[in-house]
């Protein structure tokens, strides 16, 4: 780190450049001396993250189901050609868009009769192909675990309507939804650890940054090392005594 200083000499101000060397060992020593401060920050931040995740974040539950999309109505055998599998994967992407469409989610909203709009259902719904296969994983996320399962099963039960729209292939439900027993979010252990890590980082910056940017000259030895000039004399600190 490079600093510019003006030192008053006999002929006036002398511009000197000096480079302060920041040693890793000094930083480690400084942090070790303030380890209790870091520990306090870690504890406070971890507890804050835990309390926030536990008491202020609304738990979300995710119901999961799967279905398989086939290019033809006949059963897939071991001699299926690669072209047919690729066609099934392309068809699966078409089914994804249909299952997330406004018309389809309107049908689902009418079936479940839980006062959810089609737009709200689309916001809860996630559909992804499994490892680039013709199998689709369908997920519904909701604050109510029973509603999540009800909505997802309504989607799977109405998949025949999507087949009629596409007019190609077939879709078969492999795994219907069950009521999730545990919330999928927030991840309290992860948030707690992340909070502790952030607390450690903030405390380390509070300790290290003032040391890095401190240009105070503390003694004559530091003057000699900094400017490579001899020290002619030192004025001692005189403490006055009051009677």
pLDDT tens by residue, 199-231:
999 999 999 988 887 777 667 776 676 666 777
How far apart are the C-alpha atoms of 86 and 140, rounded to whole Å?
A: 27
Residues shown for the chain: 243
How far is residue 239 from each of residues 15, 51, 171, measured CA to CA in Å? 33, 52, 92
Is the pLDDT at 162 greater than 90? The verdict is no
How far apart are the C-alpha atoms of 85 and 70, rounded to whole Å?
A: 8
| Sequence ranges of the chain with CATH classification 3.30.70.1130 | 61-175
pLDDT of residue 90: 73
pTM for this predicted structure:
0.70
| Bond into 186 cis (ω within 30) | yes
Top CATH class, 61-175: alpha beta
Q: Which two tokens stand for residue 112?
A: 């479940």
pLDDT of residue 131: 80
Taking each helix axis from N to C end, the angle separating 102-112 and 145-157, rounded to the nearest 10 degrees, works out to 120
pLDDT of residue 154: 96
User: Which residue is it, tokens 């926030």?
Assistant: 52
For residues 77-101, average pLDDT: 71
Q: For 98-138, what is each residue's pLDDT tens digit?
A: 899 999 999 999 999 899 999 999 999 999 988 877 889 99
Taking the alpha carbons at both ends of the chain, their separation in whole angstroms is 48
- Give the containing element (helix H, strand E) for 173: strand 170-175
Kindly compute the dihedral angle of the four CA atoms of residues 220, 222, 225, 229, in this order, to the nearest 10 degrees: -30
- Give the containing element (helix H, strand E) for 221: helix 220-227
């Amino acid at each position: 780190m490079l600093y510019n200083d003006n030192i008053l000499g006999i002929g006036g101000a002398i511009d000197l450049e000096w480079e302060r060397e920041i040693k890793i060992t000094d930083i480690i020593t400084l942090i070790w001396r303030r380890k209790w401060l870091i520990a306090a920050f870690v504890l406070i931040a971890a507890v804050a993250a835990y309390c926030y995740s536990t008491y202020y974040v609304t738990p979300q539950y995710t119901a999961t189901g799967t279905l398989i999309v086939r290019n033809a109505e006949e059963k897939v055998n071991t001699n299926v050609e690669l072209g047919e599998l690729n066609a099934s994967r392309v068809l699966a992407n078409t089914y994804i868009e249909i299952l997330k469409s406004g018309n389809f989610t309107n049908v689902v909203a009418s079936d479940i009769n839980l006062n959810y709009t089609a737009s709200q259902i689309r916001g809860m719904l996630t559909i992804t192909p499994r490892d680039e296969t013709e199998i689709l994983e369908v997920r519904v996320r909701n604050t109510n675990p029973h509603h999540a399962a009800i909505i997802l099963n309504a989607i799977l039960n109405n998949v025949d309507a999507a087949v009629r729209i596409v007019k190609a292939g077939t879709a078969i439900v492999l795994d219907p939804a069950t009521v999730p027993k545990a919330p999928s979010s927030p991840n309290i252990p992860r948030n707690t650890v992340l909070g502790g890590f952030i607390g450690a980082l903030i405390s380390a910056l509070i300790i290290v940054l003032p040391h890095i940017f401190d240009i105070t000259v503390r003694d004559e030895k530091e003057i000699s090392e900094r400017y490579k000039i001899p020290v002619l004399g030192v004025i001692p600190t005189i403490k006055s005594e009051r009677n």
